[in-house]
Amino acid sequence: MNPELYKRARVVFLAACDLDAGARDAFLDESCGDDIALRGAVDLLLCGDDSPVHLTHRAEMSGQIDDILFSGTRDGEAEIPAQIGEFRIIRKIGEGGMGSVYEAEQLSPRRTVALKMIRPDMRGHEIVRRFRREIDLLGQLEHPGIARIFHAGTVTSEGGPRPYFTMELIVGKTLIAYVKALDVGHRERIELFAAICDAVHYAHMRGVVHRDIKPGNILVKESGRPVILDFGVARATRSDIKATTMTVNAQQIIGTLAYMSPEQASGLAEGIDARSDVYALGVVLFELLVGQLPYSLDGKSIADAALAIRDDEPTRLSRINRALRGDLETIVFKAMEKDPERRYDSAAALAQDLRRYLADEPIIARPPSAIYEISKFAKRNRALVGTGVGATILLIALTIFALTKASLATESQRVAEVEADRAKSTVSFLSDVLASADPNRSKGNEATVRGVLDEAADRIERGQFAEHPVTLAQLHMTIGRSYLAVGEYDTARSHLERALELNLDSLGRNHVAYADSLD
């Protein structure tokens, strides 16, 4: 929750918390209007005020939430009901962020269904009306990869009507549990995931966005067919916050937040569209391939976790498993681009690129350019770039740009690809080195040009460039010139002489790079 949204939500919350249920709903409808993000934030605060859930706020005077801790049950239901509406309850089969799920028997027509009872705080006549309208829309989705919604209703409980809906009962394992239990291979996982994308695209083409895609909402039948649950129900209940399973303690965040797109995590309801689902699909694919999430959210508050999703770069697949380097990594990270405009524009486009990868065909996605990666690094480290280190980064960017441009202009396509790969490796190496000057990673020590250069100089010969002497020479040239700029003449000389030696051995006396280093 961003600070401005929290300030607005807190004003409404304080005015609403002393009202009875009927008056509160009317007050919230009038105060929040169509502002879904504000209503969700207020409902989150009211949930902690009304329910047995333990909710702790530790807020600074500025009104920013620093921590929100949940423990205990979400529904507050002591017993399993014998009957809900016309449905006889057989057993409880699960519980999530929106409520409890039961296996139930419908008398007419006679069939076994899954019945989801929405949480007690999601009630009120306006919410129920909106909920039933959306469920009617979702009931029109007919796809073998989407659990069919049959019926929506309400039951009267203390405080007002409480909505529920029934859907097709899917017998199977959750996505991650399925691939682990059957030890599904790398290729089969991608094929399975492409089928999930097909189902998501079907719903998108009918104007329905899921908003809560995660492995727990995807079951795989014994036949191997994946089926997506709760499609669009997050929208039906008005709030992504309500649809999440944010079980948070001092060490861990579990739930939907980890799969939210940056625009969702920031509370920007107006920016949520099909590409938000594409982002969530990218996170699910990441976890499906390597068994972990792209961000480490352990120990973070909800606000800090949301900021990490919005601003931090995800772990690269190839750092976890080098076999995933290349096209597959490019596909995953295009799906997970922070800017929606740079993502796949549809789940179908993501599925098509995955199938191209499986067929050894050229993929549509392309890795980001070296200059784009440098610009992203600069945005993440504005304070660092504002110091003299910015000159170093600029020199590096110009060097890499020149290398890549020259290779594309004068060499064959194969050589150009090799050079581009070397340039990307250079960016990765230098980004790691320069990140050591980030105060958040250097325990508050002040970043200096000399410190960054020393770190780079220490690591350069131990880096991944031993087999690429031309690239290594360019790095020595850049670092040498940077030492020269700060008056470290002896150190600069050693690096420039090393560049001269490398260029002479690799390119000969007649090459322009040798002449440049000699100069």
Q: Are 237 and 116 in contact (CB under 8 A)?
A: no
Residue 142's Cβ-side half-sphere holds a number of Cα atoms within 13 Å equal to: 1
DSSP classification of residue 246: -
Q: Which of the following is catalytic: 25, 43, 212, 240?
A: 212
d(CA 325, CA 321): 8
Q: Are 211 and 272 in contact (CB under 8 A)?
A: yes
C-alpha 192: how far from chain center: 20
d(CA 282, CA 344): 10
d(CA 231, CA 246): 19
**Among candidates 346, 339, 338, 242, which has minimal Cα distance to 294?**
338
d(CA 142, CA 148): 7
Provide CB contacts within 8 A for 52, sequence distance 6+: 72, 73, 76
The alpha-helical segments, DSSP class H, found in 166-316 are 175-181, 186-204, 233-236, 240-243, 262-265, 274-290, 302-311
Catalytic: 183?
no
Q: Are 224 and 192 in contact (CB under 8 A)?
A: yes
Q: Are 121 and 50 in contact (CB under 8 A)?
A: yes
Looking at the DSSP bridge assignments, the partners of residue 4 are none
Q: Are 85 and 153 in contact (CB under 8 A)?
A: yes
Please spell the DSSP secondary structure of 324-383, one letter per residue.
GTTHHHHHHHHHT-SSGGGS-SSHHHHHHHHHHHHTTPPPS--PPPHHHHHHHHHHHTHH
3 state DSSP class of 164: strand
**Among candidates 430, 240, 269, 258, which has minimal Cα distance to 336?**
258
Q: What is the 3-state secondary structure (H, E, C) of 418-473?
A: HHHHHHHHHHHHHHHHHHCCCCCCCCCCCCCHHHHHHHHHHHHCCCCCCCCHHHHH
Q: Could you tell me how many residues make up the chain? A: 519
3 state DSSP class of 402: helix
Q: Which residues are annotated as catalytic?
A: 212
